């Protein structure tokens, strides 16, 4: 495959289940493996070697009861909010901890984040509880094989970088240009409104954090992750912020603001 795409890979895997003989899919980098885990849980025969996925045909699959953990891409906004709002402590229960999705935890820990993981068992999908405490963050470099493991979380990671001391470099993330919006340009524009020193590059962002961040009127570009990221920034920014055209959040998290407000009341 020309790019690491879990969606494209999953379509090929599903076709390969009932194809004649073995199907081998090669990716440039490893992508999310939810489909492989789920099908093997149903009795499939899929294995991985480096960046190759080997799909063996099956006679029959068998369904059973499944517990679906919480989405770490949705939890990411509250993880970052807890880290950048002073004197915060948040418990997020039953979060999916699939290693192909936990790049954000690895990066935030490298930035100095206090994140405690309490694993709750290894089912088809590993999961656990997270305890996050506000932390003094510092800049890091993010790129390479990490990118497919946190591509959707990069906008809110950029928010964390705005409150981190020093420089954060995000690279190898050209895919951000072809999401619901061009997230590289969108985050550069919106972070600058908040007084953040940030520069877009061909494949990412360079953010110099640690300075005062102030509220502003933020545009969402009809992109749910941009909208939620700027709402998280607003929690720790000086002054009032306004999120324009925030209805796009309903695409993935209809009760996002309700959850955010409930955290503030605890």
Q: Locate 110 and state its tokens.
A: 């490298």
Q: Is 209 helix (H, G, I), strand (E, B) or coil?
A: strand
End-to-end Cα spacing for the chain? 47
Q: Is 152 a catalytic residue?
A: yes
> Distances in Å between the alpha carbon of 198 and those of 140, 170, 189, 190, 211?
14, 11, 9, 10, 12
Q: Do 91 and 118 contact (CB within 8 A), yes or no? A: no
Report the side by side order of strands in the sheet with 166-170: 141-142, 166-170, 204-209, 197-201
Active-site choice (106, 152, 172, 223): 152
Rounded Cα gap, residues 131 and 229, in angstroms = 20
- Strands 23-26, 45-49: pairing is unpaired
Q: Locate 45 and state its tokens.
A: 């025969």
The catalytic site residues sit at: 152
């Amino acid at each position: 495959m020309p790019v690491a795409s879990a969606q494209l890979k999953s379509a090929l895997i599903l076709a390969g289940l009932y194809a004649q003989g073995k199907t081998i899919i090669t990716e440039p980098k490893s992508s999310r493996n939810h489909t492989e885990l789920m099908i093997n849980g149903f009795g499939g025969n899929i294995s991985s070697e480096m960046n190759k996925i080997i799909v063996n045909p099956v006679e029959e699959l068998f369904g059973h009861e499944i517990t679906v953990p919480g989405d770490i891409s949705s939890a990411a906004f509250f993880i970052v909010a807890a880290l950048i709002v002073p004197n915060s402590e948040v418990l997020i229960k039953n979060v999916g901890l699939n290693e192909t999705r936990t790049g954000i935890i690895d990066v935030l820990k490298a930035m100095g984040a206090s994140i405690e993981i309490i694993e709750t068992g290894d089912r088809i999908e590993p999961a656990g509880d997270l305890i996050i405490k506000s932390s003094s963050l510092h800049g890091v470099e993010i790129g390479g094989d990490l990118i497919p493991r946190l591509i959707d979380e990069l906008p809110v990671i950029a928010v964390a970088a705005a409150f981190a001391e020093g420089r954060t470099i995000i690279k190898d993330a050209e895919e951000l240009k072809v999401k619901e919006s061009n997230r590289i340009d969108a985050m550069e524009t919106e972070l600058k409104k908040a007084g953040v020193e940030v520069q877009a590059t061909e494949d990412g962002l360079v953010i110099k954090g640690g300075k005062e961040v102030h509220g502003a009127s933020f545009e969402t570009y009809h992109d749910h992750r941009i909208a939620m990221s700027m709402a998280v920034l607003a929690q720790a920014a000086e002054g009032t912020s306004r999120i324009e055209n925030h209805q796009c959040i309903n695409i993935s998290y209809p009760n996002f603001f309700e959850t955010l407000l409930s955290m503030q009341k605890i």
